[in-house]
Amino acid sequence: MKDIFDECRFGDLDLKSRIVRTGTWETETEEGRFLSPAIFDRYERIASSGVGLIVSEIFAMDYKDRFSEYSSNLDYRGFIKDYRMITDICHNNDVPILGQLAFFYYDDGDNQKAEANDLTLEGIRKLQAEVIVAAKKFSFAGFDGIQINMGNNFYLARFMNPYFNQRTDDYGGNTENRVRISSEIIKVIKKTMDMHVSCRINPWDVRKGGMTADESIAIARELEKAGADSIQLTARTISQIYDKGVKHPFLVYVDDLIDAVDIPVVLGGSLREMAKINDVLNNSKVEFVSMSKPFVAQADFLADWKRDGEGTAICYSCNNCYSKKTSTCFKHG
Ligand SMILES: Cc1cc2nc3c(=O)[nH]c(=O)nc-3n(C[C@H](O)[C@H](O)[C@H](O)COP(=O)(O)O)c2cc1C
């Protein structure tokens, strides 16, 4: 029987539970973009609650990027100092932490919004170099690894999606080529740094001519081949639709993905009840699950679950934390 509080290996990392606090922007930076005391307090409460792994909020490479207003930027003045303290908080609680890099637009020097089809080879090399430097910055700040967000509609997700990428060179066409920009980045990071590399990817895409579930699995295999240590799926709601008798198509897809790769896969989205999460763990091949909004509503709720052997998050998914872009809970403060 699997239980969310099982201690387990996650690639090269040791986790105290199967729960990943997934990327959630913080916003509470003070004048000059230093982290506010509330954030240190939040990390302490999350890290000491029984969580297995923490993924930071989005860090962008460019202040012009889409979510920069609400999240952090790798170049802000206090990055190394602040995040050395954050990563220390996690490590003092024996919890590893990954820094998340996500960018929506890419400025190649000529074009502030160069899309996949526009990038020259020099532009590709510039982008790759910037992501590799970002990984190095995360390592200076004490992060155990980097999570590169290649999901949702972020830049690298569009780059690997045949709907957006019609390149005719080595970076377009078949799956291997569309993933190459990311594979080459991963190879360099793995060769030059002692960093876990996690890739957040989409299960599929609703666009006609976009990414299918089979394609998503093929992408995960390419990323694994390049050296990725884990895969995290962008959210797809499963808790309400999970039924012990009938396996939802999303769980079938996840099982197929887990069969296809030899690295850990993290599943998440609308998971709120300990019993239901344990049901998912024990009726599928899923071993790791992620949560975001429940930690916004109550940073240390996992401590209650661990003590009581059961529990339901007080978050009822109103999504106001997302809509308001403040990552504070509308109902619970
Ligand atoms: C306030 C808020 C901030 C978020 N910030 C990020 C982020 O920085 N990076 C990311 O990959 N996802 C982000 N997400 C998406 C979550 O990681 C997660 O996929 C989504 O909320 C669904 O999971 P949940 O139902 O457990 O909240 C954010 C979500 C919320 C509500």
DSSP calls for 234-292: PP---TTT--SSS--HHHHHHHHHHHH-SS-EEEESS--BHHHHHHHHHSSS--EEEES
- pLDDT value, residue 36: 84
Average pLDDT over residues 209-236: 94
Q: By three-state DSSP, how is residue 64 classified?
A: coil
Q: Is 177 helix (H, G, I), strand (E, B) or coil?
A: helix
| Ligand 1 nearest atom to the CA of residue 151, by list position | 11
d(C-alpha 53, C-alpha 299), whole Å: 14
H or E element in which residue 41 lies? helix 37-47
Give, using CA atoms, the residue closest to atom 14 of ligand 1: 24
In this prediction, residue 238 carries a pLDDT of: 63
Gap from CA of 269 to ligand 1 centroid (Å): 9
Distance 109 CA to ligand 1 centre (A): 30
CA 55 to chain centroid, in Å, comes to 6
Q: Please give the residue that has the higher pLDDT: either 250 or 186.
A: 186
Residue written as tokens 């989005």? 58
Among the ranges given (10-19, 132-141, 182-191, 236-245), the one the predictor scored with the smallest mean pLDDT: 236-245
Q: Is pLDDT at 144 greater than 70 in this prediction?
A: yes
- 321 near 42, Cβ under 8 Å? no
More confident residue, 294 or 205: 294
Task: Tell me the average pLDDT of the chain.
Answer: 92
C-alpha radius of gyration, the chain, whole number: 19
In this prediction, residue 252 carries a pLDDT of 87
Which of 4, 20, 24, 100 to probe ligand 1 with, by most ligand atoms within 8 A of CB? 24
Instruction: Report the candidate in 147, 134, 143 with the shortest Cα–Cα distance to residue 75.
Output: 134
Q: How far is the CA of 235 from the centre of ligand 1 (A)?
A: 8
Predicted local distance difference test score (pLDDT) of residue 67: 83
Q: How confident is the model at residue 77 (pLDDT cuts 50, 70, 90)?
A: confident
Closest residue to atom 5 of ligand 1, CA basis: 24
* Residue found by looking up tokens 């579930």 in the block: 213
Residue 44: which pLDDT band, with cuts at 50, 70 and 90? very high
For residue 164, the model assigns a pLDDT of 96
Question: Residue 225: which of 186, 264, 189 has the closest Cα?
Answer: 186
Distance 237 CA to ligand 1 centre (A): 13
Cα distances from 329 to residues 144, 172, 293, 299, 320, in angstroms, run: 28, 42, 8, 11, 7
Q: Which atom of ligand 1 is nearest to the CA of 296?
A: 1
Nearest ligand 1 atom, CA 319: 31
**Which sign does the torsion angle of CA 207, 178, 286, 19 carry?**
negative
Q: Where are the domains of the chain?
A: 8-238
State the distance from the centre of ligand 1 to the C-alpha of 85, rounded, in angstroms. 23
Note whether 222 and 183 are within 8 A (CB): yes
69 vs 304, which has greater pLDDT? 304
Share of the chain above pLDDT 70, in %: 95
Residue 202 Cα to ligand 1 midpoint, Å, equals 14
Query: Span 8-238: which CATH code?
Result: 3.20.20.70
- For the record, the structure tokens of 178 come out as 């569309």
Q: Residues 6 or more apart from 238 whose CB is under 8 A from it? A: 248, 250, 251, 267, 269, 270, 271, 280
Dihedral sign for Cα 138, 143, 146, 152, please.
negative
Q: Provide mean pLDDT across the span 101-114.
A: 92
Region 129-149: mean pLDDT is 98
What local confidence, expressed as pLDDT, does residue 14 receive? 98
Confidence of residue 71 (pLDDT cuts 50, 70, 90): confident
SS3 129: helix
Looking at per-residue pLDDT, the higher value among 321 and 260 belongs to 260
Q: Is the pTM of this model over 0.85?
A: yes
Grade residue 68 by pLDDT with cuts at 50, 70 and 90.
Answer: confident
Cα of 99 vs centre of ligand 1, distance in Å, is 14
Q: Which of 18, 78, 20 is nearest to 287 (CA)?
A: 18
Confidence band of 298 (pLDDT split at 50, 70, 90): very high
Calculate how far, in angstroms, residue 264's C-alpha sits from the geometric centre of ligand 1.
Answer: 20
**Pick from 76-90, 158-172, 252-266, 317-331: least confident:** 317-331
Q: Is 80 exceeded by the pLDDT of residue 326?
A: no
184-194 b/e (C-beta count within 10 Å ≥ 16 → b): bbbebbbeebe
Asked which of 77-81, 181-185, 197-201, 265-269 is least confident by mean pLDDT, the reply is 77-81
**What pLDDT was estimated at residue 244?**
59
Query: Which of residues 129 and 68 earns the better pLDDT score?
Result: 129
Binding pocket residue ranges, ligand 1, CB within 6 Å: 22-25, 57-58, 71, 100, 149, 200, 235, 268-270, 291-293, 296, 321-322, 327
Q: Given this model, what pLDDT does residue 245 score? A: 62
Q: Whose CA is nearest to atom 9 of ligand 1?
A: 23
> What are the distances in angstroms from CA 310 to CA 5, 273, 278?
11, 8, 10
Q: What pLDDT was estimated at residue 241?
A: 55
Answer yes or no: is pLDDT of 300 > 90: yes
